[in-house]
Amino acid sequence: MTVTWEELGWERLADGVGRCRLPGWDCTAGLVLGVDAALMVDAGSSLDEGARLREGARRLAGRRVTHLALTHPHFDHVFGAAAFTGAQVYGAFGAAGTGALFAPGGQGRQALRADAVAEGLDSRAAREAAEALSPVRHEVRGEHPLDLGGGRRVLLADVGPGHTGHDLAVLVPGSPDVLFCGDLVEESGEPQAGPDAVPSHWPAALDRLLELGGDDALYVPGHGAVVDAAFVRVQRDALAARFGVSR
């Protein structure tokens, strides 16, 4: 039986495009539906959360998720990835090798696990997610189009570094265009710059987002409410001032 986005607690952004604001860290997961395929943007903070996203996507799409785009390698965006069995997993160029992130037993996985526990995720859930973490099989260098069928094409773009060394954006052309920004843009709080951030390049990454989306797109942050181009410009200027980046 067909269900609506709203019935599942999701937010419809455009025809065949929506997102779910997840509890806990208010992290966004996006979904783009085509005739032949379905793309999930980010996977949640645990295997259980990933499974709930997978089931919601199945009910909305009438099929399994075929593609998964991970906007950056932080636990609250990737720890649900293993729930999407059989999906083609995409990340920004270099993400697969970051600190042996996707190597079994690698130091990157252990760092993600430790960060998750420090942020309040149950230690058992963090361990299970880190051990099961799905590898990025497709690294995006520059831009990569995806055809989801029925005229639905999306563009994956390596726009970083900025929030991390490997930031991926997802542009969904339509009426309106929708741009999933990951944590390059945050609305519910000040953008977080951890030890893997590259502050000197972050304003330029936001300039790239603005080039992709233009003035009329909906910009979907990694955390918080959907924003417009004016918000992104203000955040870009604030980050430039905060990090002493000349413009």
Q: Are 217 and 17 in contact (CB under 8 A)?
A: no
Q: What is the mean pLDDT of residues 88-102?
A: 77
Q: Look at phi and psi of residue 230 and say left if phi exceeds 0, alpha if psi is from -120 to 50, else beta.
A: alpha
Bridge partner list, 209 = none
pLDDT, tens digit, for every residue of 4-14?
A: 999 999 999 99
pLDDT, tens digit, for every residue of 193-234?
A: 999 999 999 999 999 999 999 999 999 999 999 999 999 999
Predicted confidence band of residue 98 (pLDDT cuts 50, 70, 90): low
Higher-confidence residue of 99 and 119: namely 119
pLDDT, tens digit, for every residue of 162-205?
A: 999 999 999 999 999 999 999 999 999 999 999 999 999 999 99
**pTM (two decimals):** 0.96
pLDDT over threshold 60, residue 100: no
pLDDT at 104: 54
pLDDT over threshold 50, residue 18: yes
Q: Are 209 and 217 in contact (CB under 8 A)?
A: no
